[in-house]
Amino acid sequence: MGFLDKLFRNSKEMENMSKVKLAVVFYSMSGTNYQLAKWAEEGSREAGADVKVLKVQELAPQSVIEGNEVWRSTVESTKDVPVATSDDIEWADAIIFSVPTRFGNMPSQMKQFLDTQGGLWAGGKTVNKVVSGMTSAQNPHGGQEATLLSLYTSMMHWGAIIASPGYTDPVLFGAGGNPYGTSVTVDQDGKMLEDVEAAVKHQARRTVEVAKWVKKGNQ
């Protein structure tokens, strides 16, 4: 191998090492948060990140899922999406979570996943992960902000760095202006009432940008 080949290879290796590794971890019953996760993936890739889209393990009985056409359809459409593991959390420099609202809190499926990361937490491996959250609910005031705050409470215990969107871009106002994270209202038919695609992609790019700063500072 010649000098220029070695230089090129080393350059590519350095580029790959400096790339932000981002996991988009979601739970979705009606498909809304799966769509948010896919938009976040697009925005993150545009920002140059290495991205994994992952779902958390479903805990509901199969008999209950089978009795709900929308739920059953979502399970089918996401069957090939890998289930998130502790290895994925350890791998990631940054994590974007997307969850529906359950009584102003995150669903039990996501809570169980977070609760099983005690080993990583105890080993200090969740410290300085850059995190951000998104959510949905059937009502604008049905707990969307509270859900994100409940997620961020766990992230504070992780020692993670929260990259909320705040009001960092005018596009956020068109999506409802939630400074904690993109949130969307969904009607009874599962249709999103706000156009949040641009807001999700901005939030994803911002998360990658903050992760780049953190990663560069640690090198």
- pTM for the whole thing? 0.91
Q: Is 189 helix (H, G, I), strand (E, B) or coil?
A: coil
Torsion of CA 185, 186, 187, 190, to 10 degrees: 170
Backbone dihedral angles phi then psi of residue 159, each to the nearest 5 degrees? 80, 20
CB atoms within 10 A of CB 148: 26
CATH architecture of the domain 20-218 equals 3-Layer(aba) Sandwich (3.40)
pLDDT of residue 219: 57
Paired with 136 in beta bridges are 100, 184
The predicted pLDDT at position 142 comes to 87
C-beta separation of 146 from 183 below 8 A = no
Whole-angstrom distance, CA of residue 150 vs CA of residue 204:
20
Domains of the chain by residue range: 20-218
In tens digits, the chain (219 residues) has pLDDT values of 676 565 556 545 555 568 999 999 999 999 999 999 999 999 999 999 999 999 999 999 999 999 988 899 999 999 999 999 999 999 999 999 999 999 999 999 999 999 999 999 999 999 999 999 999 998 888 899 999 999 999 999 999 999 999 999 999 998 999 999 999 999 987 889 999 999 999 999 999 999 999 998 865
> Contact at 8 Å (CB) between 165 and 117?
no
